[in-house]
Amino acid sequence: MATQTETLRADAAPTTITVSAQEPTKKVAKTEVPGSAENKPKIRRIIDEEPNTTASPQYPHYLPTWNHGEKYPPWEPFTHVEHGKDADPSFKDLLVEGTKLTHLTPTTGSEVTGVQLSKLSNAGKDQLALLVAQRKVVAFRNQDLADLPIQEALDFGSYFGRHHIHPTSGAPEGYPEIHLVYRNGNAGEFESFLANRNSSVSWHSDVTYEEQTPGTTFLIILDTPEVGGDTAFVNHVEAYNRLSPAIKGRLHGLTAVHSGFEQAEFSRSRGGVVRREPVKHSHPIVRTHPATGEKALFVNGGFTRSIDGLKKEESEALLNFLVNHIGRGIDYQARVKWAPKTVVVWDNRVTSHSAIVDWTTGERRHLARITPQAERPFETPYVPDVAVKAA
């Protein structure tokens, strides 16, 4: 039976969906734009044919496309302004009268109702950046960002940094700055997804191979299963705090390589796009947040490949310890349940996250990510805990 495979996610652990030639769930169409035969870029789209098990997409203009003629030069450095750094810690322009703030766990994650992100003043946006840096991830309910024209949503996000353009993921046609997550969950796809793995856990921080990695990041729900498809987040500041002083001291000064080459190769091997040639960069293993001054572990299983200056066995042992330590920290993790009109904002500098693939109802899980880049990762000098207590 003929099949066609399209990459639907291009995060740390890319997933694919295989559509049988006899399945009516969706098809991928190729559209050629005007030009000479040899120069015609091809645009691939997911087109839903509305099977009985899946309702029409609520936001069809957000359906993913892959333009094979879209190429970008290497990123140039830019000066990032950290808006949370001088924000009013009273949050008077963000958490206004009638707002409800609920913490998901003592250290990690919050939920807010009564705030409309798109209507925030600049002072409110500054306080948003600070709140997210402090709580690591915040879910805002009843938002209108998905209903705005895409460019207006991007204009809102641009306040927080230069938009990242993902090298391999699907994007709405004409808006490569939007990274799309798209999956139709059905029993066959679920079984295929778990064929070579025991769970869907895939902790990662987004595109940390870039020289200037993302900071305040926005994920907008477009379609979601009634039950399932949550996203889990883990707090890298608290993961760092749990380490012994001896391990903290040893980690300071070390850097690790974050690579995007594997992600690009994954896309190429499946006929997918690579909009920008892959890069790798070395970043501090302990990163300092510019707004809070907190130190956080800055490694993740998705993109961190090796520790500079260590032998292979040493590097693997230390990285495995750190990644496992982060991943098993259930007491500094939070789970966000998606609901219509939700926007989740997290600080990619001090967290990892993992989608949870656990529904088999055929419902669509469709999200749009706005990914402002931030400063180049840096670390401040290590001050032993005993010295802090003595002071």
Check pLDDT > 80 for residue 171. Answer: yes
Mean pLDDT of 72-91: 97
pLDDT of 18 reads 28
How far is the C-alpha of 307 from the C-alpha of 344, rounded, in Å? 32
Q: Structure tokens of 347?
A: 């600080």
Mean pLDDT of 94-112: 97
pLDDT of 347 reads 98
Mean pLDDT of 238-257: 98
Q: Structure tokens of 70?
A: 């879209």
* Class of the CATH domain delimited by 3-390: alpha beta
Could you give the dihedral angle defined by the CA atoms of residues 5, 6, 9 and 13, in that order, rounded to the nearest 10 degrees?
30
Q: pLDDT by residue (tens digit) across 304-353?
A: 999 999 999 999 999 999 999 999 999 999 999 999 999 999 999 999 99
How far is the C-alpha of 283 from the C-alpha of 322, rounded, in Å? 15
How far is the C-alpha of 70 from the C-alpha of 82, rounded, in Å? 30
Residue 161 CA, distance from chain mean position? 15
Residue 245 CA, distance from chain mean position? 30
**DSSP 8-state symbol, 373:** B
Nearest CA-CA partner of 171 in 369, 387, 389 = 369
Mean pLDDT of 11-24: 33
How far is the C-alpha of 201 from the C-alpha of 10, rounded, in Å? 15
pLDDT of 35 reads 41
Q: pLDDT by residue (tens digit) across 36-54?
A: 344 445 677 775 444 444 5
Region of 151 (left: φ > 0; alpha: ψ -120 to 50; beta: rest) is alpha
Q: How far is CA 314 from CA 242, 249, 310, in A?
A: 22, 17, 6
Band of residue 162 on the pLDDT scale cut at 50, 70, 90: very high
Check pLDDT > 50 for residue 147. Answer: yes
Check pLDDT > 80 for residue 157. Answer: yes
pLDDT of 190 reads 83
Ordered by start, the domain boundaries in the chain are 3-390
| 30 vs 41, higher pLDDT | 41
Q: Structure tokens of 42?
A: 């091809």
Q: pLDDT by residue (tens digit) across 258-313?
A: 999 999 999 999 999 999 999 999 999 999 999 999 999 999 999 999 999 999 99
Q: CB neighbours (10 Å) of residue 106?
A: 9
Check pLDDT > 80 for residue 30. Answer: no
pLDDT of 43 reads 75
pLDDT of 106 reads 97
**CA-based R_g, the chain, Å:** 21
Could you give the dihedral angle defined by the CA atoms of residues 378, 382, 383 and 384, in that order, rounded to the nearest 10 degrees?
140
Q: Structure tokens of 114?
A: 């009564």
Check pLDDT > 90 for residue 24. Answer: no
pLDDT of 41 reads 57
The H-assigned helical ranges of the chain are 122-135, 150-157, 187-193, 236-241, 245-251, 261-269, 312-327, 385-390
Q: CB neighbours (10 Å) of residue 89?
A: 10
Averaged pLDDT of the chain: 88
Highest mean pLDDT among 3-12, 43-52, 192-201, 263-272: 263-272
Helix (H) or strand (E) holding 307: strand 304-307
Q: CB neighbours (10 Å) of residue 157?
A: 22
